[in-house]
Amino acid sequence: MQVTNVSIIPTEAATNAGSPALTPELLAASGARYSRNKEGLEAILSKIDPNNLDKSVDGIFKMIDYGHQSIADMAPVSIFIDDVSILLAYLVWSWCPTAGGQESSTRYIQLDKSGLVDPALMGVPEDQQDEWYSFMADSFDAYEKSLEFWDQIGTENPELTLIPSSLLHDPSEKAAKQVARMKRNYAFDRARYFLPVAAKTNIMLIMSSRGWAQLCQNLLSHWLPEANLLGQKIRTELELSVPRMVKHAERKTSFAAGHQKELETVAKIAASNATPSGEAPCTTEIELALPMNVSETDLVEALQDHDNRYAYTGMATCRTSTRFAWSAMTIAEIRDLNRHRTGQKYCPLLPQGFYCAADQLPQGTELNTEFVQLGDQSTNTSRSLLAQGNPGYAAWFLLGSQFLFEHTTMLDKFVYEAELRTGTGAHYRYAEHFRDVVSKLGEKYPDFAAAIALGSNEPE
């Protein structure tokens, strides 16, 4: 695991223009000064000693003594995190709703068994690690052979890949490369369900020092050893940019108790319920809470000038609270939907079954039975360990493991997400889930559901 703070330097144009350049804490202190003085930026900057930037922070404003966490919102920090598990990356995003950033995509990058997180960091007890490694090897074997399998399916049945015929019949080298890439993407989309969540990925995030401190509080308070290690490494990097915030980036008793209680809650459910096998049927729910004096007609009118997913939406949708959920969605999809930054997400880590794209197969074609059984092995083992209170249970998840996923936000944000996740290049499973939930919405609000531009693309 490698964690690296990356500072931002002024552009050449900004330097030539004489624009000021401040450290993250100086930026926060300068902004905070506005709340106690009307002197303006030039006067504030005049108090900075270029030979002692750190001391200048307190000279401008004693940001820590002031006590408001909002001051820390004005100190941006970017950090790159290499070689963490897909599971931990998911948790990080769930705790960072205000962060911008990226993650290595399983839809475009082929992973292999050399990139596995240490089982001890995943909470796997030493006496179970040999069995775990064997399961990981089987999972990667299934993933690699599934990639070959779906490559062949796409070659033999090009119409299934939904590649435009104009591209398929274009003799140019450029078109050939694009077709090959799209066929590969078709295979990645379906083979990735066999990938273990213990596979390594990379993420980068940029957010305020307040956000980083709160992330560390979650990481250092969690039951996953890998999370604790990441929290310690992030603290070290924060020292470089925002040393005054590090004292807030610590383990919190309330967070530790909360995470433990969540684990115990799902453990009780696992102990009391039968373990499901195969793919769990997915049901969808969506509820709107229309504000006072807003009708479906107002919602439809709010989308009249909405000609792409980034376009204006009227206030009727912006004011309408929305909760939507799927009872059995794979973590492969959840980890991406989880990165939509608005509102509150809920996903208890209790596997409900396993999906491996068998519904995508041409008639008469079957996946290797042993590979499909890996899903049941993942579900059975993880739920059994969870029922025993073993925190290493999550190390047995595959990307095809299914979970309940719920998102509560505002209606305009739902519209954006639905249009994005059904647009050109969207994962086929995203599109299916969102078409299902919009169809469910149409049972009560048919005119509004029809106004949502599923498949909407970016403006040219």
Q: 141: exposed, middle or buried (C-beta count within 10 Å: 0-12, 13-18, 19+)? A: middle
The per-residue pLDDT for 371 is: 87
Q: Is the per-residue pLDDT at 22 higher than 90?
A: no
CATH: 3.30.1360, 3.40.1710, 2.60.40, 3.30.420. Which one for 2-82+200-251?
3.30.1360
Cβ–Cβ < 8 Å for 74, 32: yes
Mean pLDDT for the chain overall? 89
Closest CA to 376 of 110, 251, 194: 194
Q: For helices 24-33 and 53-60, what crossing angle results, to 10°?
A: 20
- In the chain, the percentage of residues whose pLDDT exceeds 70 is 95
Query: What confidence tens digit (pLDDT) does each residue in 164-218 have?
Result: 778 878 888 888 888 888 888 899 999 999 999 999 999 999 998 889 999 999 9
Structure tokens at 236: 């070290």
Ranking 128-137, 190-199, 243-252, 347-356 by mean pLDDT, the lowest is 243-252
The per-residue pLDDT for 158 is: 83
The one-letter code for the residue type at 395 is A
The CATH architecture to which 272-451 belongs is 2-Layer Sandwich (3.30)
- Mean pLDDT: which of 88-92, 163-167, 304-308 is highest? 88-92
The per-residue pLDDT for 442 is: 96
The per-residue pLDDT for 200 is: 96
Q: Is the per-residue pLDDT at 296 higher than 50?
A: yes
Higher pLDDT, 217 or 368: 217
Q: Quote the CA–CA distance of 164 and 195 in Å, as a whole number.
A: 29
Confidence of residue 45 (pLDDT cuts 50, 70, 90): confident
Q: Is the per-residue pLDDT at 65 higher than 60?
A: no
The one-letter code for the residue type at 124 is V
Closest CA to 347 of 24, 9, 87, 29: 87
Q: Quote the CA–CA distance of 224 and 208 in Å, as a whole number.
A: 24
DSSP assignment, residue 342?
Answer: S
Q: If DSSP codes are grouped into helix, strand and coil, which group holds residue 100?
A: strand
Closest CA to 208 of 77, 67, 79: 77
Q: Quote the CA–CA distance of 384 and 98 in Å, as a whole number.
A: 35
Question: Between vectors from CA 155 to CA 150 and to CA 158, what angle results, nearest 5°?
Answer: 105
- Mean pLDDT: which of 92-101, 204-213, 316-325, 353-362 is highest? 316-325
Cβ–Cβ < 8 Å for 122, 199: no
Structure tokens at 126: 């030493």
Q: Is the per-residue pLDDT at 21 higher than 90?
A: no
Residue 289 pairs with which residues in a beta bridge? Answer: 321
Structure tokens at 442: 């149409």
Q: Is the per-residue pLDDT at 268 higher than 90?
A: yes
Q: How many other CB atoms sit within 10 Å of the CB of residue 202?
A: 15
The per-residue pLDDT for 164 is: 79
The per-residue pLDDT for 66 is: 47
Q: Quote the CA–CA distance of 220 and 283 in Å, as a whole number.
A: 35
The per-residue pLDDT for 64 is: 44
Q: Is the per-residue pLDDT at 414 higher than 70?
A: yes
Q: Is the per-residue pLDDT at 248 higher than 80?
A: yes
Give CATH 3.30.1360.170 domain extents, the chain. 272-451
Q: Is the per-residue pLDDT at 68 higher than 60?
A: no
- Give the predicted TM-score (pTM) of the model: 0.91
Confidence of residue 459 (pLDDT cuts 50, 70, 90): low
Q: Is the per-residue pLDDT at 59 higher than 70?
A: no
Q: 292: exposed, middle or buried (C-beta count within 10 Å: 0-12, 13-18, 19+)? A: exposed
Q: Which residue has the tokens 């900075």?
A: 48
The per-residue pLDDT for 451 is: 94
